[in-house]
Each structure stands twice: as structure tokens, then as C-alpha cells.
Amino acid sequence: MNCAEWEEKIALYLGDDLAVHDLDRVEGHLRACAECARFYKELKLDANSLRSAPPEAATADYSVLRRLIRRRVASEQWRKRLVPLIAVAAAVVLAIVVRSTAPQPVIPAPQPIVVRMPAPRVEKSVHTGGAGLQPARFHPKHPTTDPDLEAALMRFTNSELPQQEAHPKTPIEMRVRTKDPNVTIVVFQPNEATPNENE
Amino acid sequence: MRESGRSEAELLSLARGGNLDAFDEIVRLHERRIYALALRLTGTPEDAQDAMQEAFVRLFRNLARVDCQDRLGSWLATVVVNACRDLGRARQRSRLVPMGEKLAVFADPGANPEVLRSGEEREEQLRSCLQRLPERERAALTLRELEGLSTQEVARILGTSESTVRVHICSARIKLRKLLAGWFEEKL
């Protein structure tokens, strides 16, 4: 191990950072080697120089520095006080803006009242005579018409409708009875009359 | 109004309540030590003043978090080290002359042979050589020697491990010695 290799251990030794098992070796080398002993002495002088504060630290005008610090700290203090106020003001402004631009709440329309009523009774019947009406199945290629039925329906539609006083808006239901007991033609016609007209 | 006679804990408590005179007193208690540390770390009085101001302003901002039990001096040392580091980075970003180079020019050994022999010049040269060390090594060595802190405390302030601090301090001592030896040889 040459002297250059001892430098690191000597520097650690100076700072009390050397491992315990190396202490004896380094101290022995420092006693034996004049060059390393000189290096150690110089390191010690450097450390002493560093331990003393720089001369400017003793001559500096601290009152000026203190004034500068005070000024900055005072502005920080104002900022600290203003920030919550600004935050509150911003929140209020934001709330006003949001409130004025937000869509108005949609009020739901009331549910229509459903009144269940019995169907109006049949006011008019169509009498198709003795022959009766024979319902025929419609065939698109061979359309058939029943003249009796057509005539009965025509009479029905041209006839004057009775007034519905109880429920003027109730559609008028007409039933056409046919010969077949299983077949009844039901016709609904809207009641156009307004309540005022009915009165 | 001077808030003398109060303990550091009392001063901190008053300062937290917005008492700026109490804060001034805290500044008074630590200003010399913090300025000396900043001078060693930055190398120039101007930068040291900036770092010192920044450290105390940061203290004011964090008064609520600073615990007196936690040693205010150690807390301030951490802050001033960071402030000096930030200053160095800002200087690099703004592409100004690095601190070490500026001082090296200022302390040119050939500039004035008579002044070279004075102790003041040796101090300037020490500072110049210190600025040539890597930032972490310079901080570790300065905290150890100027502040007299243990390896553990230095590690806590620099946010690193104790073994890293040992390596940094050892390396810094050797490099500084070689820089100073080179300067003295050149002088002779």
C-alpha cells in the first residue's frame, strides 16, 4: 500500500469516521511515514480553517439583512391573510355565476287523473232486416261487398248522433248487430262537441 | 420592540401568532451562523445574503410545522443548504458564471503577489477551492466542520445515508487539500 492509497484512510481517521479495526494500522503508518504525517497535518489545518466562520460573517451589516427579511415576511403575512378572503370572494362569485347560468329545475307535470267509467250504453242499433248480415272474409284478389251491410253502415253514419250530456267528450260507440251472434261491428266516433256547446 | 429574554419556544409561539418582532428575534438568534454557512456554501456575500433571506422566509412560511424540540438550528441548516442548492441551479439555468469560476478569477494567485501572502487571501483561496468541490461534498464537509455536526446529523440534513456522508466528507477533504496544495505550489 503506497502513500496515495493511505490518503483515504487518513482523511477518514481525521473525521473519526474510520472503522475501529483500521485505527491501529493508520496510527502506526502515521508514526512511520513522514509524508503521510505531513498530509495528515495539512488536512487538520484545512479543517481548522473551515471551522472558523468566514470574515464577512463578522463584518456583515445584519440590520440591513434583517430589514430585508422583515419586508418579505410582512408581505408573506399579508398574503396569508388575503388568501382566505380571496378564496371566499371567489367562491361567492362562482356560486352566483353558477346559479345564474344553471338550467332551471324541471317541475314534473302532474299525473293525469284517470277515471274509470263504464262504457256508454249503445244508443243506436242498425236493423239489417230479416236477411241479416253475413260477414265475409276479405280476400284481396276477390273483394266481395255486402250491399246490405254497406247500406246499413251508410245509414248509420249519415244519421244524427245523440248528444252525450253526461260525458260530452266520451267517444260515441255504435254497435251493428249482424245475423251471426258471434259478430258485432263496433264503431267509435269522436265526440267533437265542447262542453260549452253541449250546454 | 425587542422580545429579549424569551426562550426560543416562546418566540416561535409568538411568531406563529403573527408577532413579527418575535420573528425578528429568532432571526437575530441564528443570523450569524446561517450567514456563515451560506457564505461557505455559495462563496459570495451576495449569494449568501439571498440564501439567508430565503431560509428565513421559508421558516416563516413553515412556522406551524417547525417544532422547537426538533432543533430549530438544524431545521434552518437544512433550509439554507437547500436554498444554496436552488441558487446554484438557478445560476446554471440562467447561464451566468458559476460561483467557483467567478471566485477563482477573483483569487487569481498571479493578480497581486503582495496580497497573496495575507491571511485574507488564504481565506479567499480556501473559499475558491471549496467552490470547486461537488455540491454534495462541499455541503457535507461544511456542515461537519463549520457546524460541527455528527455524521448522523449531516446525513439527516442532506437526506442521505451516513455511509454516503462519510464518503463525501473523505473525498472532499482529499480534493480540497490537493486544490490548496496546487495553489500554494503555483504561488511559490
Q: Residue A163 falls within a domain, yes or no?
A: no
Q: Residue A105 falls within a domain, yes or no?
A: no
Q: Scanning every residue of chain B, which has its alpha carbon at the shortest distance from the alpha carbon of A72?
A: B57
**In this structure, how many other beta carbons lie within 10 angstroms of the beta carbon of residue A53?**
16
User: Is B27 in Cβ contact with A69 (below 8 Å)?
Assistant: yes
Long-range contacts from A151-158, C-beta under 8 angstroms, 24+ separation:
A152/A126, A152/A127, A152/A128, A152/A176, A153/A126, A153/A185, A153/A187, A155/A126, A156/A124, A156/A126, A156/A187
Residues 6+ away with beta carbon under 8 Å from B113: none
User: Is A77 in Cβ contact with B146 (below 8 Å)?
Assistant: no
Cα A92 to chain centroid, rounded: 22
Q: Are residues A50 and A65 in the same domain?
A: no
Q: Are residues A11 and A33 in the same domain?
A: yes
Q: Residue A108 falls within a domain, yes or no?
A: no
User: Is A70 in Cβ contact with B39 (below 8 Å)?
Assistant: no
Q: Pick the closest to residue B39 from B55, B27, B51, B56 (CA basis).
A: B51
Weakly modelled stretches of chain A, pLDDT under 70: 1, 112-116, 118-146, 160-169, 192-199
pLDDT digits (tens, 9 = 90+) for B28-64: 999 999 999 999 999 888 999 999 999 999 999 988 8
Q: Are residues A70 and A44 in the same domain?
A: no
Most confident of A142-151, B26-35, B91-100, B123-132: B26-35
Which residues of A make CB contacts under 8 Å with B? 7-8, 11-12, 14-15, 17, 39, 42-43, 46-47, 49-51, 53-58, 60, 62, 65-66, 68-70, 72-74, 76-77
Domains and CATH numbers, chain B: 1-96 (1.10.1740.10), 99-188 (1.10.10.10)
Task: Flag whether pLDDT at B180 surpasses 60.
Answer: yes
Q: Are residues A131 and A186 in the same domain?
A: yes
pLDDT at B101: 43
User: pLDDT tier at B157 (50, 70, 90 boundaries)?
Assistant: very high
pLDDT at A38: 93
Chain B residues with CB inside 8 Å of A7's CB?
A: 174
Mean pLDDT, chain B, rounded, equals 82
Q: Which of A131-135, B37-41, B147-151, B152-156 has the lowest mean pLDDT?
A: A131-135
Q: Are residues A33 and A72 in the same domain?
A: no
pLDDT at B2: 47
pLDDT at A133: 55
Q: Are residues A45 and A71 in the same domain?
A: no
Q: Are residues A132 and A190 in the same domain?
A: yes
Q: Are residues A46 and A76 in the same domain?
A: no
Buried b (16+ CB within 10 A) or exposed e, B172-187: bbbbbbebbeebeeee
Number of domains in chain A: 3
Cα B101 to chain centroid, rounded: 18
Residue A72 in contact with residue B47, Cβ under 8 Å?
Answer: no
Q: Are residues A71 and A50 in the same domain?
A: no
Task: Flag whether pLDDT at B111 surpasses 50.
Answer: no
pLDDT at A1: 63
pLDDT at B107: 40
Tell me the shortest Cα–Cα distance from B142 to chain A, in angstroms. 7
What distance in Å separates the CA atoms of residue A148 and residue A128, rounded to the nearest whole number? 7
Q: Residue A114 falls within a domain, yes or no?
A: no
Greater confidence (B160 vs A157) lies with B160
pLDDT at B160: 94
> Can you give the residue range of the structural domain that contains A40?
3-54
Residue B123 in contact with residue A55, Cβ under 8 Å?
Answer: yes
Supply angle C-alpha B4, B10, B11, rounded to 5: 55
What distance in Å separates the CA atoms of residue B171 and residue B141, rounded to the nearest whole number? 9
Buried b (16+ CB within 10 A) or exposed e, B50-83: bbbbbbbbbbbeeeeebeeeeebeebbbbbbbbb
User: Is A46 in Cβ contact with B177 (below 8 Å)?
Assistant: yes
Q: Are residues A173 and A128 in the same domain?
A: yes
Residue B12: phi, psi to the nearest 5?
-60, -40
Last residue of a domain, one of A37, A54, A71: A54
Q: Residue A115 falls within a domain, yes or no?
A: no
pTM of the predicted model over 0.80: no
Q: Residue A74 falls within a domain, yes or no?
A: yes
Q: Residue A173 falls within a domain, yes or no?
A: yes
Q: Are residues A23 and A47 in the same domain?
A: yes
Q: Are residues A128 and A193 in the same domain?
A: yes
